[in-house]
Amino acid sequence: MIDKRPFSSRVVDGVEQAPSRAMLYAVGFKKEDFKKPQIGIASTWSMVTPCNMHINELAEAAATGADEAGAKSVVFNTITVSDGISMGTPGMRYSLVSREVIADSIETVVGAQGFDGFVAIGGCDKNMPACAMAIARLDRPSVFVYGGTILPGKERRDVISVFEAVGLHAAGKVSDIELQEVEATAIPGPGSCGGMYTANTMASAIEALGLSLANSSAQNAVSNAKRKDSYSAGAAVYHLIERGIKPSDILCLEAFENAITVVIALEGSTNAVLHLLAIANAAGVPLELDDFTRVGLRVPVLADMRPSGQYSMSELIDVGGIQPLMKILLDEGLLHGGCLTVTGHTIAENLAGVEPYPPEPQVIRPLSNPIKKDSHLIVLYGNLAPDGAVAKITGHEGLSFAGIAKCFHGEEAAMRAILDGQISKGDVVIVRYEGPRGGPGMREMLSITSAINGLGLAQDVALVTDGRFSGGSHGFVVGHVTPEAFDGGPIALLENGDVITVDAVQREITVELSEEQLNQRRAQWEQPAPYATKGVLAKYARLVGTASEGAVTDN
């Protein structure tokens, strides 16, 4: 027989659960608390990265909000790792892996402790989609809170300024002293990387999904607004429990289309493709790679934000955040206004009283003058990527590129060649064996794209990889190539001198080789030894699916 009691009642009610209650008294419960809904507060606080260094304070605010609404809050932690710190090193292999570990750990604690609902607070690239995946899996009343964006550094610098300074240094355009000054002044304090990189992209996407409170994604990390948002999230979960509203009432295909629409309008990161596919998988929603093309054909790019544009998230916040943008999209018929959200209201109801942007905001273009009339997230197919690849092409780079392949086994080899001056105009840099299984962990190529940009080759060199890209990458870049090299995909068969063509209009990525030539090379190909044979990387490589399916481990 199915037990329909509240989850917490199964843990604390009855004579037989006296030991459970005894242990909970020791962590601060009072007798009356056992009659209240229990709300977990999943905190990703750590001093590993500035993105998450302040989240303990937000967790305390969320706990207070839950308690004052009538629940009993319980704060717990999970891990995080920093993409920005591990970028360009073997440690970056753990980045995407951490998404699965974090989702698993939140699911484990909430499931084991019998929480009736929870708040999940994330502030860096992988813990944010991980929180949403756990919310979808557990299907208990839940609210996601974004830790907030960082303020700009000196001279409007951010972390990408430092990565690109490395390339400028290699080109002799920045001295040792100037490089040190950039690195010392780019990161002024708490918060996630400041452009429309992956953190701000995913915060906006999760809000558009309906899993966070209105305007949660557009707040500075160091602000009263962010603390109030966290407090309100704790109270909101209590009210969701009262009303019986669960993530499965919110997460539907139309909600994911809303998220894709907002990501495109904001010119967001390619990682959104990977993460939204993963969240949809957790929710049992049939989202597919081609849905990004279908939605993208009708949605314009409107935000002039870094890395391809000029402005930071804090500057978008100054003119009103993403709510006025969502209102524009709703009024244009580009959002599904009837989708339910964690406020208990629909998207349309949440946006009803939103004030428009001030006249002529530079950060957001009008619909009549978009940066690009359709999506910058281009899904490509062809004999180089039979199962798909994802490019971020804004039009600044041009819409097609043909060049000569220069092939590298892994990121380090490619980076050495770039800094040693071995890459020239017209080259297509192929970085392979960096896919979900082959990396493992699908490392981001921000160091490489930043070095190429710093050398002044962004318009003249393309990069194709079975790995992925940071939200801070820009230029003619194609990632998520599937099948990956480790699985014997065509990218493994390329040789120096092959002619590669990327056509964003036709949505094709091809190599000038016949099927017979590819088959001849395939017959000679041997799968390399795995990077790891034990531990979390090895387990991940054995379990993970393809990038075109979100690189999830619970298919």
Taking only the tens place, the pLDDT of each residue in 250-268 is 999 999 999 999 999 999 9
Determine, yes or no, domain membership for 112: yes
Determine, yes or no, domain membership for 554: no
Q: Which amino acid is at 484?
A: E
The pLDDT of residue 396 is: 67
Q: CA 354 to CA 324: how far, in whole Å?
A: 6
H or E segment and range at residue 448: helix 446-454
Over pLDDT 70: what percentage of the chain? 99
Helix (H, G, I), strand (E, B) or coil at 181: helix
Give φ, ψ of 340 to 5 degrees.
Answer: -75, 150
498 or 165, higher pLDDT: 498
Handedness of CA 120, 124, 130, 136 (dihedral sign): positive
Same domain flag for 119 and 181: no
Told to judge if 308 belongs to the known catalytic residues of this protein, a careful annotator would answer no
Structure tokens at 71: 């629940």
Same domain flag for 139 and 237: yes
Q: Mean of the pLDDT values across residues 336-351?
A: 98
Which residues make beta-bridge pairs with 389?
A: 380
The pLDDT of residue 345 is: 98
Residue among 370, 371, 329, 543 at smallest CA distance from 474: 371
Answer whether 9's CB lies under 8 Å from 43's CB. Answer: no
Over pLDDT 90: what percentage of the chain? 85
pLDDT band, residue 532 (cuts 50/70/90):
very high
DSSP, residue by residue, 49-64: -TTTTTHHHHHHHHHH
From the list 20, 82, 308, 470, the catalytic residue is 470
pLDDT band, residue 555 (cuts 50/70/90):
confident
Same domain flag for 339 and 427: no
Q: CA 33 to CA 84: how far, in whole Å?
A: 41
Number of Cβ within a 10 Å radius of residue 459: 14
Residues 6+ away with beta carbon under 8 Å from 295: 257, 260, 261, 264, 375
pLDDT digits (tens, 9 = 90+) for 213-261: 999 999 999 999 999 999 999 999 999 999 999 999 999 999 999 999 9
H or E segment and range at residue 236: helix 224-243
Structure tokens at 158: 């951010």
Q: Which amino acid is at 143?
A: V
Determine, yes or no, domain membership for 357: no
pLDDT digits (tens, 9 = 90+) for 461-508: 999 999 998 877 777 899 999 999 999 999 999 999 999 999 999 999
- The count of domains in the chain is 3
DSSP, residue by residue, 347-372: HHHHHTTPPPPPSS-SSB--TTS-SB
Least confident of 42-46, 389-393, 437-441: 389-393
Answer whether 314's CB lies under 8 Å from 152's CB. Answer: yes
Same domain flag for 178 and 198: no
Which burial class, exposed, middle or buried, applies to 416 when counting CB atoms under 10 A from its CB (0-12, 13-18, 19+)? exposed
CATH number of the domain within which 219 lies: 3.40.50.2300
Same domain flag for 321 and 438: no
Q: Mean of the pLDDT values across residues 72-94?
A: 94
Same domain flag for 336 and 398: no
Same domain flag for 144 and 284: yes
Determine, yes or no, domain membership for 366: no
Structure tokens at 141: 């009343």
Same domain flag for 304 and 418: no
Structure tokens at 374: 């359709």
CATH number of the domain within which 434 lies: 3.50.30.80
The pLDDT of residue 81 is: 94
Q: CA 401 to CA 426: how far, in whole Å?
A: 9
Residue 273 is part of which domain span? 28-151+189-351
pLDDT band, residue 397 (cuts 50/70/90):
low
Answer whether 374's CB lies under 8 Å from 359's CB. Answer: no
pLDDT at 1 over 60: no
Residue among 206, 341, 221 at smallest CA distance from 271: 206
Answer whether 383's CB lies under 8 Å from 490's CB. Answer: yes
Same domain flag for 432 and 313: no
Number of Cβ within a 10 Å radius of residue 156: 15
Determine, yes or no, domain membership for 309: yes
Residues 6+ away with beta carbon under 8 Å from 38: 7, 8, 11, 71, 72, 73, 74, 113, 114, 115, 116
Give φ, ψ of 390 to 5 degrees.
Answer: -125, 125
Give φ, ψ of 31 to 5 degrees.
Answer: -55, -40
Tracing tokens 């017979």 back to the chain, one arrives at 516
107 or 3, higher pLDDT: 107
pLDDT digits (tens, 9 = 90+) for 345-383: 999 999 999 999 998 888 999 999 999 999 999 999 999
Same domain flag for 82 and 164: no
Residue among 345, 348, 316 at smallest CA distance from 331: 348
The pLDDT of residue 313 is: 95
Same domain flag for 91 and 159: no
Beta strand pairing call for 499-503 and 462-465: unpaired
Helix (H, G, I), strand (E, B) or coil at 477: strand
Structure tokens at 416: 């050495």
Which residues make beta-bridge pairs with 144?
A: 120
Q: Mean of the pLDDT values across residues 421-426?
A: 94
Q: DSSP H helical segments within 210-367, as ranges?
A: 224-243, 253-265, 271-283, 289-296, 313-318, 323-331, 347-351
Answer whether 383's CB lies under 8 Å from 513's CB. Answer: yes
Determine, yes or no, domain membership for 14: no
Structure tokens at 191: 């918060």
Structure tokens at 348: 């349309």
Number of Cβ within a 10 Å radius of residue 16: 7
pLDDT at 20 over 90: yes
Same domain flag for 231 and 343: yes
Determine, yes or no, domain membership for 164: yes
Q: What is the pTM of this model?
A: 0.96
Structure tokens at 351: 């946006």
Determine, yes or no, domain membership for 3: no
Mean pLDDT of the chain: 95
Answer whether 343's CB lies under 8 Å from 350's CB. Answer: yes
